[in-house]
A and B are shown apart, each in its own frame.
Chain A
């Protein structure tokens, strides 16, 4: 599953997600959002806190079934799939996640953390670790492969997390504020990494960020407010 650049990967059609709040009232976390992602593009998602950015990633990542609307992966209608187990299988094979915190498994070394994402898909441990070393090398962190997360800096951890997200060669890479915990130089590095993934691996990359300094890296940016996309802009051709 490796479409060429510009091929549609994911489409959200009129997706709404409502939560029932603690007081019983409904929260419209996502309201009638329509969005398309194509292979090789890097999308920036901006907006104030609580506007629904994470919820949008959850819908795109098949972690939250829309209350209304559909999520389609290259033709597969996600919400008609056979429940949680099937969605998980789909995530394992085709989607990569990067979070604000690296969320590495503390008792695994860097290379094992990356290999884990292949092992859960049935790749033998030895082969998985070999491929994981390749990914770490590509992200310029191979020299730290034998360290546990506690022995890595925040930036190094985040690069390991990106390597893990790439382990299943995803068509869609979702990142929720991946640079929030990093200084601006390291943050910039991670953003450039993500852009490289979009370009070289032709994945569709969606990044939630508050950081205006990396605006120049996005092909497309959307701005959200109260669960809606209120503004969309395309980068001027460089």
Chain B
């Protein structure tokens, strides 16, 4: 540690702390937006990763059901079951709807489970049990605020919450409510999808709304048969087939790339502002010390000593700020309505960016300090 770096900072504690706090808030923002992106990504891929489908059979010419709308015949699963190599075939349907629950208007992603093949084992229960009846039972995500055993009216019928899960949200962050496929259709029939409500509110009338159809058929194939099964189904011509990784790519590279670009832009912007704040702080404190720096040169201090003082101050501000940002992130982000995922690699990247900003910030102060001439002390 440079002999002067810390002593100078502690003598000017207020400025140091203010600068570190400012930079810390900027970094918190930086961590927040990258974490938010990771969270959106996580939520978007959640169903795809956990539902256990190797293939998604969707509407022909579409990359559904998440990136684009997709409707297929509710009996498509029978056809798919006939394909050799298709081990487990389930129907998939998900509708985002609005309901009044407990006097509060709430968005719900109603997701159909193909009971009895699928009782919801993959959703990860935190309380209660899986679905055991073909009708009238639901597994609810904790974010919906429903209690175990509670009965909610969705459309015409009552649904009893038999299981609870946590973190099961769809791409837009709506909590999921899992019911059987027929129940899903009933609910959608009775409560028109949000898009229809919106259209109607705008006086556009009803658009095509065919709730008796499903969104996709999902297939678990025999080991090593995935490509074969996909080729066979694709040859039918009226449907499209997406593998799990294609489904992932469609979302990440198709639907989320703009978001990613924007997040990257904001992150770089915030790190640049960080650099500017550090530069201003370091430059100011260097300017204030020009006389002392000249004196140091006069009594023979090497440039390296002066340089390390300035650089270390910048890095100290950066480190303190990073600590502030980490603490704030850990405290604040869990309170956010959307999931924020802090990945170690993102944090490391932000740290590298911060160190770059520190280097840039001190460089301008160092450049000024190195221009000072020793004899200015005598003048």
With beta carbons under 8 angstroms apart, the residue of B11, B298, B303, B377 that contacts A107 is B11
Contact across chains for B299 and A119 when beta carbons are under 8 A apart: no
With beta carbons under 8 angstroms apart, the residue of B7, B12, B302, B377 that contacts A120 is B302
**Cα separation A115 to B291 with both chains bound (whole Å):** 19
A58 within 8 A of B: yes
- Closest chain-A Cβ to B136's Cβ sits at a distance in Å of 75
Name 15 extra pairs, CB < 8 A, besides A91-B298, A120-B296: A54-B378, A58-B378, A63-B375, A63-B378, A91-B300, A107-B8, A107-B11, A108-B4, A112-B3, A112-B7, A120-B3, A120-B299, A125-B3, A164-B299, A168-B300
Tier of interface size on chain B: 20 to 34
Contact across chains for B375 and A64 when beta carbons are under 8 A apart: yes
Convert A33-64 into 0s and 1s, putting 1 for each residue whose CB lies closer than 8 angstroms to a CB of B: 00000000000000000000010011001011
- Closest chain-B Cβ to A128's Cβ sits at a distance in Å of 8
Q: How many residues of A contact B (CB 8 A)?
A: 33
Known contacts A91-B298, A105-B292, A107-B12; A116/B4 CB under 8 A? yes
User: Among residues 310 to 352 in chain B, which have CB atoms less than 8 Å away from a CB atom of chain A?
Assistant: none
Cβ-closest chain B residue relative to A63: B375
With beta carbons under 8 angstroms apart, the residue of B7, B11, B305, B377 that contacts A103 is B377
Most-contacted residue by chain A among B3, B7, B299, B374 (CB, 10 A):
B299
- Closest chain-B Cβ to A121's Cβ sits at a distance in Å of 7
Convert B199-211 into 0s and 1s, putting 1 for each residue whose CB lies closer than 8 angstroms to a CB of A: 0000000000000
**Cα separation A117 to B301 with both chains bound (whole Å):** 8
A73 within 8 A of B: no
Contact across chains for A92 and B375 when beta carbons are under 8 A apart: no
Contact across chains for A88 and B377 when beta carbons are under 8 A apart: no
With beta carbons under 8 angstroms apart, the residue of B291, B295, B300 that contacts A121 is B300
Contact across chains for A88 and B292 when beta carbons are under 8 A apart: no
Q: Give the residues in chain A near B160, CB-CB below 8 Å.
A: none
Contact across chains for B302 and A85 when beta carbons are under 8 A apart: yes
